[in-house]
Structure 1
Amino acid sequence: MKGLVISVIVVVTMVQFMAEPGETAVVSCDEVDECLVYYVLYLTSKPGYASALCCGGLAKLEKIAVTTAQKQTACSCIKQAAAGFPSIKEDVASSNPNKCNVQFN
């Protein structure tokens, strides 16, 4: 999960400079967790390919976290959740959004 957190932090940092002021966060940690449940399973399991459920969750997160504020909220949720998963494969986490054709920008 640390790799995912790092990837999301980088993306959120890049995007926050492109958004308009006055945006409000409407993304909850429950929504973020729901999007990433299969992604966490993928990142903590044996080597393999990203499942459709894993990629689907990333795609859903991309759609619900659109504004800077929403992405910042999602990032905070991911950081909070990552603390509970010490066995995250960072190399897999950083490359997986590309494998799923998901762009966080």
Structure 2
Amino acid sequence: MKCVIVSVVAILAVIQLVVQPGQAITCGQVDAALAPCIPYLTGDGEPSGACCGGVKAIQGMAQTTADKRACCTCVKAAANRYANLKDDAAQALPMKCGVSMDIPVSRSVNCEIIN
């Protein structure tokens, strides 16, 4: 029951952070959306519902090229903060959540080439 409550709270937090049209995306928003993914990205198993909700929220935030590049930069910075992040898990995250994203989850991506 506690896990369900935590998941619901995380999803609600992500929903609150969805960017309104015309506003810039911040790394705080991206970090909050991906925070539930840390256990999956640094361990084993599958991404949680809250994690996939965050991935979907980022997809919804990143509609323009500028937004995609900003999200990419934030995701790259977040990936570099976790020494034990598993690159294969990070790259598989969107697919595992059933989301098609133009933003790679990688420590080494060149965000300037994203369209």
Structure 2 length normalisation: TM-score? Answer: 0.64
Gaps of at least 5 residues in structure 2 are 1-21, 103-115
Instruction: Report how many residues are paired.
Output: 81
CA displacement 1:29-52 (0-9 Å, x = unmatched): 11111111011232013x111110
Identity %: 37
TM-score, structure 1 length as denominator? 0.70
Distance in 1 between residues matched to 2:67 and 2:79, nearest whole Å: 18
Runs ≥4 residues deviating over 3 A:
none
Higher relative contact order (CA 8 A, sep 6+): 1
Unaligned 5+ segments in structure 1 are 1-23
Partner SS state of residue 83, structure 1: helix
Question: Is structure 2 residue 6 aligned with structure 1 residue 26?
Answer: no
Task: Look up the match of 1:95.
Answer: 92
CA RMSD between the two structures: 1.5
Structure 1 counterpart of 2:36, from 38, 41, 48:
38
Q: Which residue of 1 aligns with 2:50?
A: 53
